[in-house]
Every structure is written in C-alpha cells, then in structure tokens.
Amino acid sequence: MELTKKLKEINKEYNYFNVIPENIKEQKLLVSVKDCICVKNMESTAGSEILKGYIPVFNATVVKRLIDKRAVIIGKTSQDEFGFGSFSVNTKNIPKNPYDKLRSCGGSSGGSAGITRKLSELKIEHVSIAESTGGSIA
C-alpha cells in the first residue's frame, strides 16, 4: 500500500497529522515534524486557527539538516495550541492514544508520539521531530 494512503487511513482514525503531503516517496529516513516547526511549502499552524494558511518559505534548521541527509518529511503532527498544554488539544483535532482511542496521547507533542507508535506497529521505521514549549516532551 502506498505510504501516503496508509498515513491518511491512520490519520482518519487517530488524528495524528495536521498536514500529510501527497505522493510521499518511501525512503530509509521517514520523518514527521511537530506543527510548530517550519517545513518549507507545508502549512505550519502550531495547532492554532490564527496561523491557518501560513506556509513557510524556509525550513527550520533541523528540517534542512534532515533533508540534506535525504530524509523525507511525511507530515506535520498535531499538538496543543502553541505547544502549551498537556493533552494535545487544539482547534482542529485531538490525537487519540494508540492503546485506547477514548483517551488523548497526552503531552503537547501527542501527534508525534502517536504516529511513532502506530508506524512501529506496522514495522515502518520513522522518527518524529518535536520540542518542548511548556516544560515536558513526549
């Protein structure tokens, strides 16, 4: 199954991504990026409606370095609005816990944590880039 399609199916059920690009090429280094970290030409909202439509014209340094090493960005992960909170609640969605869909993933980096777990269940190697805005990181 094509990776983009697989990610969209997971996202429909679990809400881990705010953005999933089309036609993702399967590479050895698949990376998801927390929505507050800029990825060139990919909407970055930091989980807030006020930034809806903001498309960065640059990559954050961490993203640039990963792309230089042939990483493929598979999407922007859900987070608490502006990274402040503990349940990854934002105006768009709440990422569901991969062990219990009635619970959130917790932490401001919940989308990153959730998609990392789901992809590991599918034996898909992946890393997620996130950060701690308010004091804890998933």
Q: Which residue is catalytic, options 5, 52, 120, 136?
A: 136
8 A C-beta contact, residue 85 and residue 18: no
108 in catalytic set: yes
Q: Which residues contact 10 (CB under 8 A, 6 or more apart)?
A: 16, 115, 118
Residue among 108, 109, 112, 128 flagged as catalytic: 108
Active site residue 101: no
34 is an active site residue = yes
Kindly report each contact of residues 23-27 with a partner whose C-beta sits within 8 Å and lies 24 or more positions away, as own/partner: 24/72, 24/74, 25/72, 26/72, 27/70, 27/71, 27/72
From 32, 34, 48, 104, active-site residue: 34
As annotated, the active-site residues are 34, 108, 136
